[in-house]
């Protein structure tokens, strides 16, 4: 005989011991009386966080391009045994570009994360 339940669809998940302990701690802290109710509430009303890595990919491409320029300059220095003042300035500017690019990216990511939290 079939049971008449309001919710007839069942979903199954598998957890390791650490995940289970973590989740059950969240259930206890929530004040919700059961894992099933907690899970349903979180799945329906919980927030799903996604990350867009397109900016990070662009930063990586820019850093790689700058790195190639630095490597070419260093290779030239090693082959010729000398470096002009202009070449040294160019190399130092490339290194500063990398530092600034990464610093700007980190600052923007922190600002974005802070606005998500608030």
Whole-number pLDDT of residue 14: 95
> Tokens representing 89?
């300035």
What tens digit of pLDDT does each residue of 1-43 get?
566 788 888 899 999 999 999 999 999 988 888 999 999 989 9
What tens digit of pLDDT does each residue of 46-105 get?
876 667 778 778 888 888 888 888 788 778 888 887 878 787 788 888 888 888 888 888
What tens digit of pLDDT does each residue of 107-118 get?
887 787 666 655
Residue 96 to residue 33: CA distance in whole angstroms: 56
Q: Three-state SS string across 29-58, please?
A: HHCCCCHHHHHHHHHHHCCCCCCCCHHHHH
Going from N- to C-terminal start, the domains of the chain cover: 8-48, 54-117
């Amino acid at each position: 005989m079939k049971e008449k339940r309001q919710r007839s669809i069942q979903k199954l998940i598998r957890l390791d011991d650490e995940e289970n302990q973590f989740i059950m701690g969240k259930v206890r802290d929530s004040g919700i009386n059961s894992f099933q109710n907690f899970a349903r509430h979180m799945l329906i009303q919980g927030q799903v966080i996604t990350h867009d890595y397109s900016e990070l990919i662009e930063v990586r491409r820019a850093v790689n391009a700058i790195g190639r320029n630095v490597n070419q300059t260093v290779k030239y220095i090693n082959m010729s045994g000398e470096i002009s003042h202009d070449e040294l300035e160019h190399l130092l500017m490339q290194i500063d570009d990398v530092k600034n690019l990464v610093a700007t990216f980190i600052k923007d990511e922190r600002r974005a994360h802070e606005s998500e939290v608030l």
